[in-house]
């Protein structure tokens, strides 16, 4: 890791103060603790990290170094990028596609690609695209992709008949991920797992793939899934922070205050085009976030009302906590890996968000 600064199109960047804003920072030690914490409870192939949360092959390499050799992807582009980076050992595209030719090309090129299928059409697409291995995707409660659990056996039989290798089943309980009532989450989770186990009985195979950051601990308790597809745990966001998980915020959106009003607000240079907003506004310690417009985040700036936080000034740099990691990261070209304190910080590496876009 560099200590003399990081080359970029902005010149050499050594200190956080040199980073042009708005910018995404990843705090190296917090990231490492998150990766360690997860790898201890879900070691090796028990975790198939989902790269859609960070879209960075550099970060995926860190996950590989923590022992996870297989990855989950949401797009063909993510699969291609991982393979090009030497991380295509065992990729699961946990999503349906109707044109699988680029995946077939990856397989020809030496990648191992397993594709989720939930219909006759997606099975046919896998066959004609040259994909050889599939999982039957089962709906376990989230109204999104996946066949009914009782249809899984028939689809598996059809896939086998067409010459595909069926490695097992997957089901994603996304409707439970940020459910804050842990009793409700646990109860609904048990129902989802009954459906997944039923589908697996009908399909067979060595893989039962499921889960995410919000339910990984239930998977450890419950034991139906052979692997968990968590992704957000590495960087985290304020939606997951509410669940009290043992992961820290390692991702911050650094911005600069560009205007201050004597009437009690200030404006930072990071708006809707820097933040994924589907989970609401980002947060800023000590300040209320009033609203975001395209290029601006307007924050309360009256120290008397916000736990004695200091007012910001024009030129102050402030770090927002993103509300939803995945759609935030994909808006940015790079992640700046940093370490240190406000008085003594270092920029260690610059990681392109190279799996972004389609």
Q: Which residues bind ligand PLP (CB under 6 A)?
A: 50, 53, 72, 94, 172, 174, 177, 212-214, 229-232
Cβ nearer to ligand PLP, comparing 121 with 278: 278
- Which phi and psi (to 5°) does residue 47 adopt? -115, 130
Cis peptide before 22 (omega within 30 of 0): yes
Closest approach of ligand PLP to the CB of residue 259, in Å: 35
Closest CB to ligand PLP: residue number: 212
Closest approach of ligand PLP to the CB of residue 53, in Å: 4
Cβ nearer to ligand PLP, comparing 129 with 212: 212
Cβ nearer to ligand PLP, comparing 168 with 231: 231
d(CA 259, CA 276): 23
Long-range pairs, 80-84, Cβ under 8 A, ≥24: 80/106, 81/57, 81/354, 81/355, 82/51, 82/57, 82/355, 83/109, 83/110, 83/111, 84/57
Cβ nearer to ligand PLP, comparing 111 with 234: 234
Closest approach of ligand PLP to the CB of residue 235, in Å: 9
Cβ nearer to ligand PLP, comparing 6 with 230: 230
Burial of 161 (0-12, 13-18, 19+ CB in 10 A): exposed
Cβ nearer to ligand PLP, comparing 63 with 229: 229
Closest approach of ligand PLP to the CB of residue 205, in Å: 18
Closest approach of ligand PLP to the CB of residue 183, in Å: 20
d(CA 344, CA 109): 46
d(CA 119, CA 137): 9
Cα dihedral sign for 305, 272, 248, 214?
Answer: positive
Closest approach of ligand PLP to the CB of residue 145, in Å: 8
Nearest to 118 by CA among 90, 91, 154, 92: 154
Cβ nearer to ligand PLP, comparing 50 with 219: 50
Residue that the structure tokens 């039957």 belong to: 136
DSSP string, 208-251: EEE--TTTHHHHHHH---SEE---GGGT--HHHHTTT-S----E
Three-class DSSP category at 292: strand
Closest approach of ligand PLP to the CB of residue 310, in Å: 34
Q: Strands 207-210 and 251-261: what pairing? A: unpaired
Cβ nearer to ligand PLP, comparing 211 with 300: 211
Closest approach of ligand PLP to the CB of residue 61, in Å: 18
Cβ nearer to ligand PLP, comparing 209 with 255: 209
Closest approach of ligand PLP to the CB of residue 27, in Å: 19
Number of C-beta neighbours around residue 69 at 10 A: 12
d(CA 255, CA 24): 9
């Amino acid at each position: 890791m560099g200590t003399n600064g990081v080359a970029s199109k902005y010149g050499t960047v050594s200190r956080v103060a040199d980073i042009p804003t708005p910018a995404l920072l990843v705090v190296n030690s917090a990231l490492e603790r998150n990766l360690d914490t997860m790898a201890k409870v879900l070691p090796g192939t028990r975790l198939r990290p989902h790269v859609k949360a960070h879209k960075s092959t550099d970060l995926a390499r860190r996950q590989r170094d923590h022992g996870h050799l297989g990855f989950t992807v949401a797009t063909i582009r993510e699969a291609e990028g991982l393979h090009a980076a030497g991380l295509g050992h065992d990729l699961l595209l946990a999503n349906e596609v109707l044109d699988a030719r680029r995946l077939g090309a990856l397989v020809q090129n030496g990648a191992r690609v397993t594709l989720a299928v939930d219909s006759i059409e997606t099975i046919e697409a896998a066959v004609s695209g040259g994909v050889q291995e599939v999982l039957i995707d089962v709906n376990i409660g989230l109204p999104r992709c996946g066949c009914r659990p009782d249809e899984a056996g028939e689809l598996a039989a059809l896939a086998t008949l067409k010459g595909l290798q069926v490695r097992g089943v997957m089901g994603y309980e996304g409707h439970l991920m940020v459910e804050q009532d842990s009793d409700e989450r646990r109860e609904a989770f048990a129902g989802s797992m009954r459906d997944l186990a039923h589908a697996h009985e009908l399909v067979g195979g060595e893989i039962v793939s499921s889960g995410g950051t919000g339910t990984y601990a239930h998977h450890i308790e419950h034991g139906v899934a052979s692997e968990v597809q968590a992704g957000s745990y590495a960087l985290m966001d304020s939606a997951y922070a509410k669940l009290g998980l043992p992961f820290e915020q390692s991702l911050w959106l650094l911005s600069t205050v560009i205007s201050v009003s004597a009437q009690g607000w200030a404006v930072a240079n990071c708006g809707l085009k820097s933040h994924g907003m589907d989970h609401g506004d980002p947060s800023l310690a000590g300040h209320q976030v009033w609203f975001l417009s395209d290029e601006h985040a307007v924050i309360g700036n009256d120290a008397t009302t916000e736990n004695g936080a200091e007012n910001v000034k024009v030129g102050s740099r402030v770090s927002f906590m993103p509300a939803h990691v995945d759609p935030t990261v994909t808006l940015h070209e790079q992640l700046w890996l940093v370490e240190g304190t406000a008085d003594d910080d270092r920029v260690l590496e610059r990681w392109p968000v190279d799996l972004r876009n389609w």
